[in-house]
Amino acid sequence: MFLERLELTNFRNYETNTLNFDQGINIFIGANAQGKTNLLEAIYVLALTRSHRTANDKALIRWQQDFARLEGVVQRQTGKLPLELIISKQGKRAKVNHLEQAKLSAYLGHFNVVLFAPEDLEIVKGPPANRRRFIDMEFGQMNMNYLMNLSQYKLVLKQRNLYLRRLKYKEANDLIYLEVLSDQLAAFGAKVIKIRHQLLQQMQNFAQIIHQEITNQQEQLTFKYQTFVKTEQLSDSEEVLYQAIKTIYETNQKREIEHGTTLFGPHRDDVVFYVNGQNVQAFGSQGQQRTTALSVKLAEIDLMQAQTGEYPVLLLDDVLSELDDVRQTHLLKAFQDKVQTFLTTTSLDSVAKEIIKTPKIFTIQDGIVLDEPSS
């Protein structure tokens, strides 16, 4: 798939703008604080209905305006697909092919993107919540069953936590209702864990090949999915997994009431990365951590294509300056002639100029976009 056209209204520092893109490499170039990343962010928000930079949707709306509108035309294998997202103080409204969607979850998956940003290193170095967020965002794009079951899991989890707090403070005493919530949480949790396990295994397969190429066959990358059920149970059927999770809730009912919260579930899972058998989060060098993050992100492109039948659009937010020549070369070669790419930079260095073929260049200056001839 590729993004053919983007229209912005009152988004960040852009009043109105209409941009037509190339199917290959599109470069947003300019000095800092001119609006390059805002354009990349607009594409990301059009795809995922949320920003990768802020949780405050109001920050996306141009100063002293009531709303922001993003409109795009995505070319898929099945044809052109118009998308529209309106962000206001009242919330968000999304349209697919001019039809308003009752839920934002129904909008997701029509336009898939993979973002590379300097903060990607936090996928490896950061706390477990970073990795869960990464997994949920990316797997939710490529697998609607995952997205639906995760949404239901979070809904039941919120209800169960509220009720556990009520039980803790003696504001309720009906354990049957808790058992009903536990049963529902176990059912949705089993589905989420099952899909996570399967997709992480596939992502590991892609990442291992990429990592070996980057390291000249010197390093072997492996994943370990850390969850609260036994490792051998991950390969069991969904029904067996459900029964195992249900038993954990039954066994720990008193403990969870005492804590007033759900202590077990996929909302506490993690992924550990190993390089040559060593935990790279804890003991890897910064170079190994960067290579691991790059391998994982590049694997995401191949995994999304395997799951959806189409390559996602690639967004590179000022990452070339963060990579040495070897990693930069591998990254650029990975998407050349394969994936539509949007890249922000203050200038193209010698490595990028040597590899990137006929990019479409947009010069950004104070929220104004100048479309220049390809070079």
Q: What is the pTM of this model?
A: 0.89
Low-confidence ranges of the chain (pLDDT < 70): 349-352, 371-375
In a domain, 119, yes or no: no
pLDDT tens-place string over residues 162-173: 999 999 999 999
Q: Among 277, 308, 339, give the residue marking a domain's end.
A: 308
Q: What's the CA dihedral at 110, 116, 119, 124 to 10 degrees?
A: 90
The whole-number pLDDT of residue 274 equals 98
Q: Which of 279, 308, 337 is the last residue of a domain?
A: 308
**Which residue positions form the known binding site?**
30-37
DSSP string, 290-342: HHHHHHHHHHHHHHHHHHHSSPPEEEEES-GGGS-HHHHHHHHHHHTTTS-EE
Burial tier of 38 (Cβ tally within 10 Å: 0-12, 13-18, 19+): buried
What pLDDT is stored for residue 375 in this prediction?
42
Q: Is the residue at 118 inside a domain?
A: no
Q: How far apart are CA 358 and CA 375, in angstroms?
A: 6
**pLDDT value of position 351:** 55
Backbone angles phi, psi at 302, to 5 degrees: -65, -40
Domain count of the chain? 2
Say what the pLDDT of residue 352 is: 67
Residue 279 lies in a domain: yes
Given this model, what pLDDT does residue 331 score?
A: 81
Q: Which candidate, 5, 6, 76, places its Cα nearest to that of 42? A: 6
Distance of alpha carbon 199 from alpha carbon 149, whole angstroms: 15
Residues 270 and 316 in one domain: no
CATH of the domain at 88: 3.40.50.300
Q: What is the pLDDT of residues 129-173, one digit of tens each?
A: 999 999 999 999 999 999 999 999 999 999 999 999 999 999 999
Domain boundaries, position 358 = 1-112+310-375
Of 308, 337, 359, which closes a domain?
308
pLDDT at 176: 97
Q: What is the pLDDT of residue 16?
A: 93
Binding-site annotation: residue ranges for ATP: 30-37
